[in-house]
């Protein structure tokens, strides 16, 4: 209760402080009332949705939109409050000085004009993240991007020179609310005409039933050498308050069954050899393994029990911390690891080839894209779906296409 009271008090104080900029720019009382109706409605809805909320009860679309609306309001608040506070840091000492050194008329004119200028500037700057977040909720979460990479390996079997794989990750089907947009993305995946499609975990948020409305949609996925999948931390149902252990176990079995009906071959600490012209590559799939309190069911040794040291190896492991903590140090050389999990935190700034930033980097060393260590590579997919915040800002949903080439990468 105390945390809720503290949160509401801080929100209202920040809201009132930010309102000063709005009130300086416009004297229209109708707009003032509208301002408070919007912000108080956002706050009230958030409190209503989450007071007494337990993650084990499930996260609905209404919860997601409550989070999205709060973020859309609070991020501009931060900009507004920050700029107004900085102005006051300079303004208050100057006000004291001018009180004793200039006349009343000059004091009034000076501060009124200066406050109005800063208020307009602060509102203009705050409008940028506000518009970005609104766009991210309305359009960004379905703004699918196909990212293509060419990976060179001297020891790639000759038969697999030019072999293409498509990776998708973190579908989180329970978050979707527009089946047409998901169908578009599935068509986009099929258009890549890859040899194999690999899904690296988190098919649902919590329950297998979330996937049922999209079963026929994902059932359209096609690849010559098949579809393969692994489990992510959300797929086990660990975040649900199940009536019994048996119910939780049955949910996982149901998810496995639905995935198989879609056409996925699940690799649960196991290996599938992809063969071509008498040569092969090992496709190794582990169950979830991650640091930071996440399930560690992945068993790399068990998964690779039938793999030879000289096999070319592609590893599917949901959490990129597994690569950092175990895979790179393993006796076997894993040429390419495919992960997801981070979502790139669904927020950031990316200028391809120039700049990439997301708050995700503060938690994950490897949070998006290609990384290399000891001659081994990992691709961290930014995710196909979204979770909690019902949007994406700057970090768009990703379909990864990787072409394997034999030889040395050009300089």
- Do 315 and 378 belong to one domain? yes
- Do 134 and 263 belong to one domain? no
The whole-angstrom separation of Cα 171 and Cα 27 is 47
Q: Which of 236, 197, 232 is nearest to 218 (CA)?
A: 197
Q: What token pair was written down for 171?
A: 């579908």
Residue 288 lies in a domain: yes
Residue 371 lies in a domain: yes
Percent of the chain residues topping a pLDDT of 70: 93
The confidence band for 411, taking pLDDT boundaries of 50, 70 and 90, is confident
Among 34-43, 44-53, 103-112, 384-393, where is mean pLDDT lowest?
Answer: 103-112
- Do 81 and 178 belong to one domain? no
**pLDDT at residue 331 is higher than 70:** yes
- Do 109 and 197 belong to one domain? no
54 is in which domain, residue-wise?
2-138
Q: Which of 354, 375, 379, 353 is nearest to 366 (CA)?
A: 379
Residue 411 lies in a domain: no
Buried b (16+ CB within 10 A) or exposed e, 93-122: eeeeeeeeeeeeeeeeeeeeeebeebbeeb
Model pTM score: 0.90
Query: Do 168 and 384 form a contact (C-beta atoms < 8 A)?
Result: yes
The count of other CB atoms within 10 Å of the CB of residue 359 is: 12
pLDDT of residue 112: 55
């Amino acid at each position: 209760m105390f945390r809720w009271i503290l949160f509401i008090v801080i929100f209202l104080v920040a809201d009132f402080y930010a309102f000063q900029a709005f009130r300086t720019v416009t004297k229209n009382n109708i707009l003032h009332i509208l301002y408070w109706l919007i912000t108080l409605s956002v706050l009230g809805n958030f409190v209503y949705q989450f007071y007494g909320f337990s993650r084990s009860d499930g996260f609905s679309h209404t919860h997601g939109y409550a989070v999205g609306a709060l973020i859309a309001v609070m991020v501009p608040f931060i900009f507004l409050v920050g700029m107004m506070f900085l102005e006051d840091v300079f303004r208050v000492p100057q006000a004291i000085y001018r009180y004793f050194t200039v006349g009343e008329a000059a004091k009034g004119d000076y501060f009124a004009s200066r406050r109005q200028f800063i208020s307009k500037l602060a509102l203009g700057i705050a409008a940028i993240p506000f518009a970005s977040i609104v766009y991210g909720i309305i359009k960004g979460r379905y703004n699918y991007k196909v990212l293509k990479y060419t990976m060179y390996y001297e020891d790639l079997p000759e038969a697999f020179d030019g072999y293409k794989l498509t990776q998708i990750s973190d579908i989180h089907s329970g978050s979707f609310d527009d089946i047409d947009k998901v169908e578009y993305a599935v068509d986009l995946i099929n258009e890549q005409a890859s040899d194999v499609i690999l899904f690296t975990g988190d098919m649902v948020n919590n329950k297998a039933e979330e996937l049922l409305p999209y079963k026929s949609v994902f059932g359209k996925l096609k690849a010559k050498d098949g579809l393969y999948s692994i489990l992510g931390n959300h797929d086990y149902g660990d975040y649900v308050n199940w009536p019994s252990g048996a119910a939780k176990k049955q949910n996982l079995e149901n998810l496995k069954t639905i995935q198989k009906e879609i056409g996925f071959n699940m690799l649960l600490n196991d290996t599938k050899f992809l063969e071509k012209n008498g040569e092969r590559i090992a496709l190794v799939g582990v169950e979830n393994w991650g640091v930071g309190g996440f399930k560690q069911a992945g068993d790399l040794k068990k998964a690779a029990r039938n793999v030879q040291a000289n096999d070319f190896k592609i590893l599917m492991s949901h959490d990129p911390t597994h690569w950092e903590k175990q895979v790179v140090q393993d006796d076997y050389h894993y040429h390419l690891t495919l992960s997801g999990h981070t979502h790139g935190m669904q927020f950031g700034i990316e200028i391809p080839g120039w700049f990439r930033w997301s708050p995700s980097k503060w938690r994950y060393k490897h949070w998006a894209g290609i990384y290399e260590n000891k001659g081994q590579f990992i691709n961290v997919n930014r995710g196909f779906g979204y979770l909690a915040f019902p949007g994406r800002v700057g970090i768009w949903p990703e379909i990864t296409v990787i072409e394997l080439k034999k030889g040395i990468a050009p300089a």
